[in-house]
Amino acid sequence: MSWITFLRSPCLAALSALCLITFANAAQAGEQPVTLSGSIEWSMHNAKGQPYRILISKPEGEVPYTGGYPVLYVLDANAYFASFHEAKRAQEQFRHAIIVGIAYPGEEPLNFLRRAYDFSPPVPAAQNTPPQGGQDELLDFLQQQVMPAVADRFPVDTDQQSLFGHSFGGMFGIYALFTRPALFDHIVAVSPSLWWHDRFLLAPERRFSADVRAGKTDVTHSSLALIVGERDSPQEIQNSQALHRRLQPLSAWGLRSSMLIEQGEDHMSVPLRIESRVLQEVLTARRQ
Residues 114-137 have pLDDT tens digits of 999 999 999 999 999 999 999 999
**Pick from 232, 133, 220: which is nearest to 191 by CA?**
232
| Dihedral sign of CA atoms 264, 267, 272, 278 in order | positive
Decide if pLDDT at 22 tops 60: no
pLDDT interval class at 34 (50, 70, 90): confident
3-state helix, strand, coil in the chain (%, to 5): 45, 20, 35
User: What is the rounded CA–CA span in Å between residue 99 and residue 78?
Assistant: 13
Pairing of strands 156-166, 223-229: unpaired
User: What is the rounded CA–CA span in Å between residue 215 and residue 254?
Assistant: 11
Residue 68 is given by DSSP the state: S
Question: What is the per-residue pLDDT for 92?
Answer: 96
| Higher pLDDT among residues 74 and 32, named by residue | 74
Decide if pLDDT at 29 tops 80: no
For residue 86, give Cα distances in angstroms to 91, 128, 219, 229. Answer: 9, 38, 31, 22
Mean pLDDT of 206-222: 98
Contacts 24+ apart (CB under 8 A), 136-141: 136/179, 137/46, 137/47, 137/48, 138/46, 138/172, 139/176, 139/179, 139/180, 139/183, 140/46, 140/47, 141/44, 141/46, 141/47, 141/52
- Would you call the peptide bond into 271 cis, given omega within 30 degrees of 0 as the criterion? no
| Higher pLDDT among residues 23 and 288, named by residue | 288
User: What is the rounded CA–CA span in Å between residue 85 and residue 99?
Assistant: 7
Decide if pLDDT at 14 tops 90: no
Q: What is the chain's mean pLDDT, rounded?
A: 92
Decide if pLDDT at 260 tops 70: yes
Mean pLDDT of 40-44: 98
Q: How many CA atoms lie within 13 A of 269 on its CB side?
A: 10
Helix (H) or strand (E) holding 86: helix 77-89
> Given its phi and psi angles, is residue 208 left (phi above 0), alpha (psi -120 to 50 degrees) or beta?
alpha
Contacts 24+ apart (CB under 8 A), 131-140: 135/172, 135/175, 136/179, 137/46, 137/47, 137/48, 138/46, 138/172, 139/176, 139/179, 139/180, 139/183, 140/46, 140/47
**Pick from 65, 67, 75, 224: which is nearest to 151 by CA?**
67
The residue type found at 11 is C
Instruction: Report phi then psi at 172, rounded to 5.
Output: -65, -40
For residue 256, give Cα distances in angstroms to 51, 67, 187, 222. Answer: 35, 25, 10, 6
Question: What is the per-residue pLDDT for 10?
Answer: 52
User: What is the rounded CA–CA span in Å between residue 72 and residue 69?
Assistant: 10
